[in-house]
A and B are shown apart, each in its own frame.
Chain A
Amino acid sequence: MAVATMARSDGDPHHVRGGEVHSGPAPKRIVTGYGFWIFILSDMVMFSAFFATYAVLLGQTAGGPSGGQLFDLPNVAIETGFLLASSFTCGLATIAADARNKLWFQIAMAVTCLFGLAFLTIEGREFASLVARGAGPTRSAFLSAFFTLVGCHGLHVSGGILWLLTMMAQVFAKGFRADIQRRILCFALSWHALDIIWIAVFTVVYLLGSAA
């Protein structure tokens, strides 16, 4: 392993290759993307606190309904499918932006927006049905933790959809300028990151939560 690394030292970014000088600051696209990546990771740290809270309070139902009695798993599977599909179309929008194809960018972003809205609609109906059945966030510590965690993810998706619409408008009005391209990069990062957090949500909250 070490030998292989040594042999490939010309591919190592820390080694300046002969004749070529990498001086000066990194391009703005890398600095912006990296900074936003750090922000995404800090957002995940915040979510980890909510996940820890949920895991600790999972059994504290105060005599109320438990996850197994409340959760509708087929519904969650459909919700997951919509968010996954939106992550894919968001990737297509990234490719279209790199190819500077306005039409395909707008189509892919519009489809992403529709999938995101479908996800939010299913989540909203689930919340409404829980509250209607007397299982609102005030019922037990378990339900408080549930609504905080899943609601926080839902708020992130709502914010993401507003950002998505802003990017569609900016590309429409200003085209693929360098600053717009950086914003598209950051938007795609955050949208894919929300999907990663949703993997943890459906696993921990719904699948593990309904078994407990």
Chain B
Amino acid sequence: MTNGHHEIDHNIDIAPGDEHFEGGIGERVLGYLTGLGLAILLTATSFFVAGTDLVWQPSIPVALVVLAIAQMGVHLVFFLHITTGADNTNNVLALAFGVLIVMLVIGGSLWIMANLNHNMMPMDLLMQMQR
């Protein structure tokens, strides 16, 4: 029984979180540092954009969502090592299914609740009818 993942052939799957690397320790640390730098940059931009009046105000929520999704991508690639490599197919497919369910739950809830809200009688009218 091999206990490391160093012996594993490059053309078969790797576990999620395991890095497909050829370089030494220095290069791996550099990878995490790159991820950290990008994440700090995106986080700082998010907090800056949220409080600024330099940009058109209605664009701010969209910008925040885009920045958040970008940062999630950075974390997935540099910290969790979920990449598009051939050895990562299973991990990516599981992630894709997870994202599908998350989108259905959040998008579906917001859609249904907004629709119900829109169609509901104003509260004061409803109170009058119940007298």
| A residues in contact (CB < 8 Å) with B | 8, 10-13, 17, 20, 22, 26-30, 32-34, 36-38, 41-42, 44-45, 48-49, 51-53, 55-56, 73, 77, 80-81, 84-85, 87-88, 91-92, 94-95, 98-99, 177-178, 181, 185-186, 188-189, 192-193, 195-196, 199-200, 202-204, 207-208, 210-211
Contacts and interface: CB of A to CB of B under 8 A. Distances in A.
Interface string B50-80: 1100000000110011011001100110011
A45 B106 contact: no
A203 B17 contact: no
Contacts of A56: 109-110, 113
Contact of B17 (A33, A77, A87): A33
Given A52-B110, A199-B68, A84 B16 contact: no
A58 B131 CA distance: 30
Contact of B32 (A88, A189, A210): A88
Contacts, number: 161
Contacts of A73: 47, 50-51
**In terms of DSSP, what is the predominant structure of the interface of chain A?**
helix
Contact of B3 (A92, A178, A210): A178
A165 to B, nearest CB: 20
Given A73-B51, A95-B29, A29 B15 contact: yes
Given A13-B87, A181-B3, A37 B110 contact: no
Interface in B2-34: 2-6, 8-9, 11-18, 25, 28-29, 32-33
A190 B10 CA distance: 25
Nearest to B90: A34
Chain B at the A interface: mostly helix, strand, loop or mixed?
helix
Contacts of A34: 13, 15-16, 90-91, 94
A200 B68 contact: yes
Contacts of B35: 88, 91
A211 B94 contact: no
5 contacts: A37-B16, A56-B110, A87-B75, A192-B17, A202-B46
Q: Which of A45, A91, A189 has the most chain B CB within a 10 Å cutoff?
A: A91
Given A37-B94, A84-B43, A199-B75, A188 B17 contact: yes
B36 A84 contact: yes
Contacts of A13: 11-13, 86-87, 89
Contacts of B86: 8, 11-13
Interface residues of B, number: 59
Nearest to A36: B16
Contacts of A20: 9
B28 to A, nearest CB: 5
Contacts of A208: 61, 64
A189 B113 contact: no
Nearest to B100: A45
A210 B50 contact: yes
Contacts of A87: 36, 39, 75, 79
Nearest to B70: A199
B2 A203 contact: no
B11 A30 contact: no
